[in-house]
Amino acid sequence: MISALVSVIFQIIIILALSPLLSGIIKKTKAFFQIRKGPSIFQPYYDVAKLLRKDSVISQNVSWIFHAAPIISFAAVMTAGLLIPIFITRLPLGFAGDLIAVVYLFALARFFTALASLDAGSSFGGMGGSREMFVAAMVEPALMLSIFAVALNVGSTNLSYISQTVSGLGIDALSPYQILAFVALFIIAIAETGRIPVDNPSTHLELTMIHEAMILEYSGKQLAIVELGAMVKQLLVFSLLANIFFPWGIASREAGIVTIVLALVVYIIKIFMIGIAMAVVETSTAKWRLFRLPDLLSISLMFSFLALVSFIIVKGG
């Protein structure tokens, strides 16, 4: 019981501590490719800390939804964080949900953020909310097919089970269907974390933004919670990629302290690698027009489709 509580709290702390750093590293990498100096990798921490101390200016049109949405969204994302194995497959709360539940918890967070976007009565919020739900709907079928491909391959939708099994397979886990599913999920991760070419996290042009438009009316402490929630979600999406497809090095349930520390280091390296890869993608592509996005996500759908079909053909069931 005590050890379960300790590991839950430890997981929360690791997630909260790492997610701003990941954002900082992505920003720094982008700055490097754009031949800029860029802000320090610790800048997101300073931003959140500053916002947490500031006053909030609240629109006079809003209702309780506007106040509740950041908290519920943050809580939904953090709950998802407790269902995803980060660097150790021991998850005391892992019984509460599987991969599908994680996807739907992200959807719950998105639902409330989108509602809040409509609450202030400005057109920008509505635009953001509408586009966010649009992108989410395009992502969903490909996401579910890749989840199916992974789950069928491993034999479960339970995340620690997936990590443990794939990790145990060693290099054999790099099957064609697994790789195809990874490509599909990588494209989905771009959309889910709101990165170029789907969305531009650093844009301040109202007409092109998606996520930023939704949270335009937030300021001060609430903005801090929203921003932190977005960073945590980003970390979790990358963790899903890392621990579903290359979980090697993840500590098993009964691992000793040395293995755990080693697993943590390996995990941090993996996450940062994905972050840097994401930054490379971001700097090497331009943002796509909203109505070209179905093309991109169709590519992802095709990959997940191929993953599933090749799995069925190879394994035969």
Partner 1 sequence: MLSYLFLGVIAAYLIGSVSALILNKKDRSCTYASFLSASIASILGIVFSFSVLSGKNFEFTAASDLPLTYGLFVDKLSAFFILVISITAFAVSIYSIGYVREYYGKKNIGYLGFLYNIFILSMILVVSANNVVMFLIVWELMSIISYLLVLFEHENKEARKAGFIYIVMTHIGTGFIILSLMILAGSSGSFNFNTFNAAAAALSPGLKDAVFIFALIGFGTKAGIVPLHIWLPYAHPAAPSNVSALMSGVMIKTAIFMLIRVFYDFLGADVAWWGMLVLILASVSALLGVLYALMEHDMKRLLAYHSVENIGIILIGVGVSMIFMASGHPTLAAFGLIAGLYHTINHAVFKSLLFMGAGSLVYATHTKNIEDYGGLIKKMPWTALFFLIGSISICALPPFNGFVSEWLIFQAQLSSIYLSDNITKMLILFSGAGLALTSALAAACFVKAFGVSFLALPRSEHARHSKEAPVPMLIGMGILSLMCIVLGVLPFYFIRIFDSISSPLVGVSVSSMINSDLSMATISAFPATISTAAIAVLVFVVIPLPVIMYLLLKRTPEPKYETWGCGQPISTGRNEYTATAFSKPFRMWFAGLFRPRREIQTTYSDSSFFKGGVRFESQIEPIFEKYLYDPIIWVVVNVSRFMRIIQTGYLQTYLLYILITLVISLIYVGSGG
- What are the φ and ψ backbone dihedral angles of 253, each rounded to 5 degrees? -55, -40
Q: With respect to partner 1, which residue has the nearer C-beta, 62 or 179?
A: 62
Separation CA 140–CA 248 (nearest Å): 27
Q: Are 231 and 275 in contact (CB under 8 A)?
A: no
Q: With respect to partner 1, which residue has the nearer C-beta, 206 or 260?
A: 206
Q: With respect to partner 1, which residue has the nearer C-beta, 83 or 271?
A: 83
Q: With respect to partner 1, which residue has the nearer C-beta, 121 or 168?
A: 121
- Answer for which of 41, 133, 179, 260 binds partner 1 (CB under 8 A) is 133
Q: Are 223 and 52 in contact (CB under 8 A)?
A: no
> At what angle are helices 64-83 and 220-245 packed, to 10 degrees?
20
Rounded least distance, CB 65 to partner 1, Å: 6
Token readout for 140 is 């969903």
Span 79-98, contacts to partner 1 by CB under 8 A:
79, 82, 93-98
Rounded least distance, CB 255 to partner 1, Å: 21
- Residues in Cβ contact with 276 at an 8 Å cutoff, skipping those fewer than 6 apart: 25, 26, 29
Separation CA 221–CA 203 (nearest Å): 21
Residue 14 interacting with partner 1 (CB under 8 A): no
Residue 130 interacting with partner 1 (CB under 8 A): yes
Span 261-300, contacts to partner 1 by CB under 8 A:
290-291, 294
- Answer for which of 71, 255, 260, 302 binds partner 1 (CB under 8 A) is 71
Residue 225 interacting with partner 1 (CB under 8 A): yes
Residue 312 interacting with partner 1 (CB under 8 A): yes
Separation CA 38–CA 24 (nearest Å): 10
**How many of the chain's residues bind partner 1 (CB under 8 A)?**
87
**Stretch 97-126: interaction string toward partner 1, x if CB under 8 A:** xx-xx--xx-xx-xx--xx-xxxxxxxxxx
Per-residue DSSP letters for 177-232?
Answer: HHHHHHHHHHHHHHHHTT-TTT--TT---TTT-SHHHHTTT--HHHHHHHHHHHHH
- Answer for which of 129, 197, 201, 249 binds partner 1 (CB under 8 A) is 129
Among the listed residues 283, 209, 224, the one whose alpha carbon sits nearest the alpha carbon of residue 26: 283
Q: With respect to partner 1, which residue has the nearer C-beta, 91 or 173?
A: 91
Adjacent-strand bridge partners of 88: 251
Q: What angle do CA 9, 236, 90 make, to 5 degrees?
A: 45
**Stretch 25-64: interaction string toward partner 1, x if CB under 8 A:** ---------------------------xxxxxxxxxxxxx
Q: With respect to partner 1, which residue has the nearer C-beta, 10 or 124?
A: 124
3-state secondary structure of 124: helix
**Stretch 137-166: interaction string toward partner 1, x if CB under 8 A:** xxxxxxxxx--x--xx--xxxx--x-----
Q: With respect to partner 1, which residue has the nearer C-beta, 151 or 196?
A: 151
Rounded least distance, CB 280 to partner 1, Å: 28
Q: With respect to partner 1, which residue has the nearer C-beta, 10 or 32?
A: 10
Q: Are 186 and 241 in contact (CB under 8 A)?
A: yes
Q: Any idea of the CA torsion for 215, 218, 221, 222, to the nearest 10 degrees?
A: -60
Span 199-218, contacts to partner 1 by CB under 8 A:
206, 216-217
Residue 192 interacting with partner 1 (CB under 8 A): no
